[in-house]
Amino acid sequence: MDAYLVFEDGETFSGQWIGSPKETLGEVVFTTGMTGYQEVMTDPSYAGQIVTFTYPLIGNYGTVMGESESDAPTCTGVVVSELFGGGENGLAVWLDRHGVPGLSGVDTRAVVRKIRSQGAMRGMFSSNPRPTVTGWPDPLSAEWVDSVSVRTPVFHPAKVSDASHIVLIDFGYKRSILQSLIEGGCQVTVVPWFWPPQKIESLDPDGLLFSNGPGDPKAMLPWVSGWVPLVQKIPTLGICLGHQILALAFGADTQRLPFGHRGSNHPVKELATEEVWMTSQNHGYAVCSDSLDLAVWELTHSHVNDGSVEGLAHRQYPIFTAQFHPEAHPGPEDAAGLFQRFIDRVNAAKEVKVYG
């Protein structure tokens, strides 16, 4: 059945329905990874977005139990050039099971060229090439984070009772982040993003992790100042949206990138070692480098292609951040090793607290 991807400027790309055919609206983005399509579709950071895959063949290994980053696909829809594979574990059946629409047979190269040349843009799926749109989604809204966050705390025990306790503030966390902490020997409590700092502190955390998530980080501005007293005294790691939120909390600014960083091949330089890591990324916003007070922040990582801010360390408080996704570890162990650095810092602070 014919269907269309219609951009907000009226340009239309034709294809065929896959998954659950229905009209949907979202920001049209593209990701450059050659594998990992299931992880992409279930990454909560894609909430509110129509994801275009640049790799021409998607679905060739079906869907795999245990590979999802959340319970179900969180993206608004998917666009592929060619869909491969069928059967009960096929991608089209899986999308339909979860009520997610998609289009195949689309000229994805032309879609990507449009986004790269004109910048981030909204679009919709429709059976009508000239649909009527009554209102577009607003990225500057807390609804995107709220739609993917847990509603009540969830505790994940460690193998030993005296393990360091990490509170993961959930803006849309990926399961692999949680798994990295558990594999590092931590016990973890995942809490809703809207929990007040006083309730978080009552859990007696040894460390805090501000997770990834969807939307414009400035949607969190009404809440950022409340987290400052907490992170000033508890070792804290921020990833992706969490990195941006922590920068905002200490006076920096963020900006929308022309077309974002999404894929598993983004080169990031660690400035202290001059090593370049190939990282997994998914974000449409970045911390403005000229807004950073270098008396407050140390710039630890930068993007090789465009020089954007990829990592920060606070000069006074036990806070460091990464714009990329260290849990994906597509490249050297050093990228994934950021979790071990964080856990080591948490354990050291806990030992000081216990023994003085």
Query: Rounded to whole angstroms, how far apart are CA atoms 218 and 223?
Result: 10
Mark out the alpha helices in 167-261 (DSSP H runs): 175-183, 197-202, 221-231, 241-249
Contact 304, 269 (CB under 8 A): yes
215 marked ligand binding residue: yes
**Token output for 107:** 């000229």
**Token output for 205:** 């955390």
* Active-site residue identified among 69, 75, 165, 240: 240
Torsion of CA 51, 52, 56, 59, to 10 degrees: 20
285 marked ligand binding residue: yes
Contact 101, 19 (CB under 8 A): yes
244 marked ligand binding residue: yes
Q: Quote the DSSP letter at residue 288.
A: -
282 marked ligand binding residue: yes
242 marked ligand binding residue: no
The number of residues in the chain equals 356
Residue 75 among the catalytic residues:
no
Residue 325 among the catalytic residues:
yes
Contact 133, 25 (CB under 8 A): yes
Torsion of CA 309, 311, 314, 317, to 10 degrees: 140
Residue 327 among the catalytic residues:
yes
First to last CA, the chain: 69
**Token output for 6:** 């219609």
CB 260: neighbour CB atoms within 10 A?
21
119 marked ligand binding residue: no
How many CA within 13 A on the CB side of residue 40? 30
305 marked ligand binding residue: no
**Token output for 225:** 């100042």
105 marked ligand binding residue: no
Containing 123, the helix (H) or strand (E) segment is: strand 121-126
**Token output for 171:** 């803006």
* Active-site residue identified among 165, 243, 325, 329: 325
* Active-site residue identified among 39, 69, 310, 327: 327
CB 308: neighbour CB atoms within 10 A?
21
Strands of the sheet with 297-303, listed across from one edge: 154-156, 187-192, 165-170, 207-210, 236-239, 319-322, 309-314, 297-303, 254-270, 275-287
Catalytic (active-site) positions: 240, 325, 327
Please give the annotated binding residues for L-glutamine, written as ranges. 45, 213, 215, 241, 244, 282, 284-285
Please give the annotated binding residues, written as ranges. 45, 213, 215, 241, 244, 282, 284-285
